[in-house]
Every structure is written in C-alpha cells, then in structure tokens.
C-alpha cells in the first residue's frame, strides 16, 4: 500500500472503533484527555479475550510459571534502585512558533536543519531531559517523604517480590512470575491512536534462570511469543523480528529481540524479549540490603538468578488485532446487488462476540421464543448477541463489521412448518465464507465451541 492508502485505512479503522464501540477518546465530552483511551462494550471484550488467553498460555498451561498482581502505587526507593528516578527520560524540545512540545527524535529534518513536524518551524529550544513518570502524593501532607509514583512498568514489582513468591510457590529454577497490569508514562507526544499512550496495560513475564541458561531461554521465549501471535490470528507475514544491536540495547542486556508488527502507520514494536541478566535483582539487593538470591538444594550453590523477560503491550496488541482483522470485500444485498462489506476477520477465540442469534421475524412470537431458547442454550458457553431489528441481511452486515464469526438464524424450518425432519434445526452462517448450513439446536454449542478453540 502507498502512504496515502495506509493513512486512509487507519482513518477507517479509527472511525470504526468509535462507531461500533471498540475504543473511545477518554473524557470526550470535555474535549478529550490526550493519550488516554476508554474501551467500549466490544473493546473490553476483545481486550479481556486477549488477556485471558495470554494468562492461559503463559501461566495455567505451564508448571513453571505463577502469577502476581502488584500495586500500581510504587515506593520511590524501588524506582530509585531500578534507575527510573534518575534516567527514565526522553529528550524534549519546544517549538517557539506553534508552541508544540515534542520529543527530539520526532523532529523532521530538511537540508540538514531540524524542523517542527507540525508547522515546519525552525525556531526550536535546546533539547532537555523530561522524566516520563507520574509522581503523586500519599497521605495528608505534601512533603518529600510522601512522594510515590504510578508505576512506569510492571517488571519492578516482580523483582521486589521475587523472594516472597519463591518461598510460597516452592518453585525451582528455571521458573517465571507473570503479571498483567496497568502502567503509566507521561509521554511528551502520544500518537498513532492507542499505540503510544500515557496509560496502558502490559502482559509481562520475568523468567528466572541460572546464568548459563540465559541465551538459550532467550531463543526459546522468542519462538514461544511468535507462536502466540499466530495463535491469536495475527498474520505471520506482518510480524517481524528485530535483533536489537548491542549499542541500542540497555547496558545490562546480553540480548534483546523486538517483535514488530506492520501497522498502517509503519512497523512498530509489539513486544520485547530481553535477557536482562541479574541486573535488576542485584540493584534491589544493594538498595534494600535484603537477600534476593536463590539456593540450589541439589548443588548447594547460592547465587542471584538471571532473568529473561518477554514483555508485551495489551493495548498495542489489541490495536494490531484490529488492524489485522479489518477487511473490505463484496457481498450481495437484500436484492442481490453487490455492495462493499466491511468485515473484521478476528480469530474466533479473540472475537468479542462469538455468535449472533436472529429470529427471522420479530413479530412472529414462536420464532422469537425459539431464538431466546437458543440464546439461553449458547450463552452458558460463550458471549452471544441477540438481534431482531431490521432485515436479516442488514443484521448479518452489522455482525460482520464487529467480527462476530458465527450467526444463527431461527426460521420457519425451525418450527417444523416445512417438514418435521427440520424441526429444531437452525441456519448457522460463517462470517468469512458467508456459507450457511443446517444444524440441530442440540448440537450448536459443541459445534461452535469446537470452532472457537
């Protein structure tokens, strides 16, 4: 696609997200809160499906990973030890012409001269460091002793709780601690819809190991994470692996891979898989004076474990799912005339609604009663949606546009009016192929469930 085509595609995606209830601008009626987003009825279902599947794959399906849900408010000593208080900054410049506040690496350059990307102005301030953390006060008095931070990442709470989790879980190396949770960064210039936001969620694993296992586990987790993205329906051809050069890695990292996705606005990072060595635990040992080491019962060794960290953004992955699913094709309308159909081709396990249920006519009491019966039958197994408004073709289109993979229509055959052999059967429609098949009501739940997994 050309740059213009990609921009148009992104505009359509953003419009659909608001129109159909995936994502809204936060506090929109008051002009919006920049870099902060609210997830609507469909968006929260999509987001929850993603988080639940990540937790299933990363924690419940494994014997070597346990979970944690740590506090958002963070003791300043934790972030001082990790280096965030002193070094978690971006270089910031101001444009004196349009008053825009920008990251220095976002400036455009023409004929060797830095320019403001908004107005093209060249009257810019010198770059200065800008700390990205949100600072707050705890307690009744506003003094230095009451300072706390909204955590800028979920990793540090895992390192701080390493010993407690180790003691209660009785795990042996290698093992991991997983967490899904909110993080906050005061971005200078949030951009690209939800991709770079000030409030976001992370899905993070800290996998602790012996030093000699680090590089092998880095390769292992990279492979596992690529597999995960394919399992949730993201096209492998749009995924790319960047082996981050040593000079661009954190100084403590022995290896880092970025898993990138081809968004309409360019190739951007979805997840980092990094071998962080023992840096974080060592920093907290020095700062707190508390032991965070590991004793190997078999070898009688005591040492500080190394760690491999797969860290993914929930919001970025949701955006990738939406961008990957968005498609347009042609389908016949009620009169057989071909028209453009917008369809979200979510993998069934990610789709916000799994099945929509339609009585053929809303004013036929027997059809409505059967449709409600099907709804009750299926909703115990999956998220379903009941719709009786408008022509059946219009109802199909509405569900296609939000990515519902299956539609069930209750018609006169269901009532046995066209032969007893068809009584209590329904029409099951597939979103992608638009093909329909006749299915017995009693087989619906098992059949659709098998297609979702």
Mean pLDDT value across the chain = 92
CB count within 10 Å of CB 263 equals 22
* CA R_g for the chain: 26
What does DSSP say about strands 355-359 and 406-410: parallel, antiparallel, or unpaired?
parallel
What is the rounded distance in angstroms from the CA atom of residue 439 to the CA atom of residue 453? 19
> Partners of 177 in the beta sheet?
66, 206
Is residue 105 predicted with pLDDT exceeding 80? no
Residues 96-111: what's their mean pLDDT?
Answer: 81
Q: 445 near 341, Cβ under 8 Å?
A: no
Q: 432-449: buried (b, 16+ CB within 10 Å) or exposed (e) per residue?
A: eeeeeeeeebeebbeebe
CB count within 10 Å of CB 235 equals 13
The pLDDT assigned to 335 comes to: 67
CA angle 258, 312, 197 (to 5 degrees): 100
Q: DSSP letters along 131-166, please?
A: E-PEEEE-SSS-SGGGEEEE-S-SHHHHHHTHHHHH
Longest CA pairwise span in the chain (Å) = 81
Q: Tell me the per-residue pLDDT of 206-221, one tens digit each, with 9 for 90 and over.
A: 999 999 999 999 999 9
Q: What is the H or E stretch that residue 46 is in? A: helix 41-55
Q: 39-61: buried (b, 16+ CB within 10 Å) or exposed (e) per residue?
A: bbebbebbbebbbebbbebbbee
Is residue 330 predicted with pLDDT exceeding 90? no
DSSP single-letter state for residue 62: -
SS3 category, 342? strand
Q: What is the H or E stretch that residue 79 is in? A: helix 76-82
Is residue 233 predicted with pLDDT exceeding 80? yes
The least confident of 63-72, 97-106, 379-388 is 97-106
The pLDDT assigned to 97 comes to: 86
The least confident of 139-148, 157-166, 185-194, 370-379 is 139-148
Please classify residue 299 by burial: count the beta carbons closer than 10 Å to its beta carbon, then call 0-12 exposed, 13-18 middle and 19+ buried: exposed
What is the rounded distance in angstroms from the CA atom of residue 44 to the CA atom of residue 352? 8
SS3 category, 365? helix
The pLDDT assigned to 12 comes to: 94
Token duo for residue 97: 């012409």
Q: Count CA within 13 A, CB hemisphere, residue 90.
A: 16
Q: Tell me the per-residue pLDDT of 260-304, one tens digit each, with 9 for 90 and over.
A: 999 999 999 999 999 999 999 999 999 999 999 999 988 999 999
SS3 category, 448? helix
Q: Count CA within 13 A, CB hemisphere, residue 399.
A: 30
Q: What is the H or E stretch that residue 94 is in? A: strand 89-94
Q: Tell me the per-residue pLDDT of 125-176, one tens digit each, with 9 for 90 and over.
A: 888 777 788 888 888 777 777 889 899 999 999 999 999 999 999 899 999 9
Residue for token pair 């098949």: 437
The pLDDT assigned to 83 comes to: 85
Is residue 73 predicted with pLDDT exceeding 80? yes
Is residue 453 predicted with pLDDT exceeding 70? yes
């Amino acid at each position: 696609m050309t740059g213009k085509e990609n921009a148009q595609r992104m505009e359509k995606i953003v419009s659909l997200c608001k129109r159909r209830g995936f994502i809204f601008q936060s506090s929109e009626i008051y002009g919006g809160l920049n870099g902060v987003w609210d997830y609507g009825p469909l968006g929260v279902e999509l987001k929850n499906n993603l988080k639940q599947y990540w937790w299933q794959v990363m924690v419940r399906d494994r014997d070597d990973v346990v979970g944690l849900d740590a506090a958002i408010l963070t003791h300043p000593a934790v972030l001082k030890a990790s280096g965030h208080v002193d070094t978690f900054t971006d270089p910031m410049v101001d444009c004196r012409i349009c008053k825009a506040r920008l990251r220095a690496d976002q400036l455009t350059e023409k004929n060797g001269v830095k320019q403001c990307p908004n107005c093209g102005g060249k009257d810019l301030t010198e770059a200065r460091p800008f700390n990205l953390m949100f600072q707050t006060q705890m307690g009744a008095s506003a003094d230095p002793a009451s300072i706390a931070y909204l955590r800028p990442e979920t990793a540090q709470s895992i390192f701080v709780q390493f010993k407690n989790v180790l003691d209660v879980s009785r795990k042996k190396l290698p093992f991991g601690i997983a967490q899904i949770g909110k993080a906050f960064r005061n971005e200078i210039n949030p951009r690209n819809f939800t991709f770079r936001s000030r409030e976001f969620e992370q899905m993070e694993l800290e996998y602790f190991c012996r030093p000699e296992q680090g590089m092998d586990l880095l390769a292992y987790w990279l492979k596992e994470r690529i597999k995960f993205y394919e399992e949730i329906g993201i096209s492998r051809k749009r995924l790319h692996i960047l082996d981050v050069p040593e000079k661009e890695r954190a100084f403590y990292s022995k290896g880092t891979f970025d898993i990138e996705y081809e968004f309409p606005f360019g190739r951007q990072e979805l997840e980092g898989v990094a071998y962080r060595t023992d840096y974080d635990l060592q920093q907290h040992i020095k700062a707190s004076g508390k032991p965070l080491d590991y004793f190997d019962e078999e070898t009688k060794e005591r040492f500080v474990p190394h760690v491999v960290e797969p860290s993914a953004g929930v919001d970025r992955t949701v955006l990738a799912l939406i961008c990957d699913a968005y498609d347009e094709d042609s389908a016949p309308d009620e009169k057989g005339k071909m028209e453009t159909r917008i369809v979200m081709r979510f993998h069934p396990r990610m789709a916000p609604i799994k099945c929509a249920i339609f009585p053929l006519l809303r004013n036929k009491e027997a059809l409505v009663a059967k449709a409600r019966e099907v709804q009750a039958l299926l909703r115990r197994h999956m998220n379903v949606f009941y719709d009786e408004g408008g022509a059946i073709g219009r109802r199909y289109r509405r569900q296609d546009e939000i990515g519902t993979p299956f539609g069930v229509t209750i018609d006169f055959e269901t009532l046995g009016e066209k032969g007893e052999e068809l009584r209590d059967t329904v029409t099951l429609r597939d979103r992608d192929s638009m093909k329909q098949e006749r299915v017995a009501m009693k087989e619906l739940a098992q059949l659709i469930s098998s297609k979702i997994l």
